[in-house]
Amino acid sequence: MAERSFIKAFKGLLPILRIAKITLICLVVPLLFASSVISGKNVRGPAFSGPDNLMEMPADWQERTVKHESADADLVVTLDGQMYHAWEPIIQKYAKENSLKIVVNNGTCGVAAGGLTQKSIDMGVFCCPPDRTDRLPGVRFHTLGIAAIALIIHPDNPHDNVTLEQARQLFGGAQRNWSGTTLKKETLVLPVGRLHCKLRPGHWRLLLDNKELFSPDLFEVGAMPDMIAKVAANPGAIGYETLWMMRYYEDRGRTRFLKINGYSPDDPANVVSLKYPLYRVYSYAVWEGRNLEKPHARKLGEYLMQQAEQLEAKYSFIPASALRKAGWKFRGNELTGEPE
C-alpha cells in the first residue's frame, strides 16, 4: 500500500521535475555558450579595413561637384562629436587667420559619411577607421591620431584591473556578478554599451566584434553623456568611453577607469605599444581630383595635422607621428594597420 502511494506521488512529481530540468537547461546552457564564445579567439573585430576596397558609385555621381547647403561658406566641415569640442575652436582660429567662412557641423561618423556621399561638405572628421562604404571615389583619408577607450566603472566598485578576457566576459554575460569585492552580493554586472558604427572597424569592436557577442542584459545608450550617467548611477555597471569624454561629461556623474592586464589607458606608451589594447582612431577625409579638390580644404587638413602634435594633455590624444615611430602601418597619411 505504502509502495503504491510512493509511486503515485513520484508520478505526480514528474511534470514538476521536467519543468525544473527545462528551466535549468535554459539558465545554464546560455551561460556555458557565452563563456565558450567569449573565451574563443575570434571575438575581436577587425581593427582596419583595406584601403584598396573602394565603394563603387555611378558615373553621374562622379561627375557631380561639391555643393554647399550654405551658399556663402568657403568650406563646410562635419566633425564627429568625440572631438568636436577640441577641433571646432582650432578650425575657427584657422578660419579667422585666413579670412575664411568655415561652417562646422557637430555630427557623427555617419553624418560625416552622409555629407561626403551627398557631396555637400568639403571635409568629414571620423572617430572610427573607414569602412568600404566610406571610401568613395575622390575621397582621401588622413589619420590625425588615436586615443584609448577606457573601461569605466562606478567609483564605489573597488576593482582596479581586469584581464582582457575578463572584460569580454563582463560585457558578454559570462561573468554576471562582481565576485571578490566589497559590493553587495546581489550587485550584478550591468554592461552598458554604445554600439555605434557597427560596420566600421575598430573602436568597441576591438572588445567584442558584434552585438550578438554582448550580453542579453546589455543596456544600450545612444549618446556619450548617457554612457557616463548610466555607469555613474549603477554600482555594478561597466561601460567604455575615451578619457577626454569622461572628463568633458563629468557633470553627468563620477566614474573611474580600469586597467587592462595591469596597463592603464592614461599612459600613451601603453596604448602605442598595444599593451593597453582598446583605442579609437581619428581621421579626416577630404576630396582629391578634378572639380573636387579645394586648396583651402587641403591646407586646413595640413593645419589640423600640425595641431594634432600639440593638443592639450586633457584630450589624451596620441598623434600620428608617435604611431609611425612605433611601427604602426600607414598608406600615405592613412593609418591602416597595427605594429607587428
DSSP state string for 309-321: TT--GGG--EEHH
Q: Give the 3-state secondary structure of residue 199.
A: coil
Whether 170 and 267 map to the same domain: the answer is yes
Sign of the CA dihedral running 209, 210, 212, 214? positive
Q: Which of 229, 249, 272 is the last residue of a domain?
A: 272
Residue 131 DSSP one-character state: P
pLDDT at 70: 82
Indicate whether 267 and 175 sit together in one domain.
yes
Residue 298: its pLDDT value, please?
97
According to the model, what pLDDT value does residue 200 have?
97
Same domain? For 330 and 285 the reply is yes
Res 24: pLDDT:
39
Please give the pLDDT value at position 20.
45
Residues 67 and 170 in one domain: no
Q: In the prediction, which pLDDT does 71 show?
A: 80
Query: Three cell numbers at 6?
Result: 510512493
Alpha-carbon gap, residue 116 to 123, rounded angstroms: 8
Same-domain pairing of 129 and 243? no
Range of the domain at 317: 59-146+281-337
Q: How many domains does the chain have?
A: 2
Kindly report the CATH number assigned to the domain that includes residue 164.
3.40.190.10
**Do 168 and 248 fall within a single domain?**
yes
pLDDT at 17: 45
Positions in the chain short of pLDDT 70:
1-41, 180-186
Q: Is residue 41 a part of any domain in this protein?
A: no
Say yes or no: 173 and 252 in one domain. yes
Helix, strand or coil, per DSSP, at residue 103: strand
In a domain, 119, yes or no: yes
- Answer yes or no: is 198 within a domain: yes
Helix (H, G, I), strand (E, B) or coil at 100: coil
Any domain includes 15: no
pTM of the model: 0.87
Residue 15: its pLDDT value, please? Answer: 54
Consecutive H or E run containing 220 = strand 219-220
Shared domain check, 318 and 172:
no
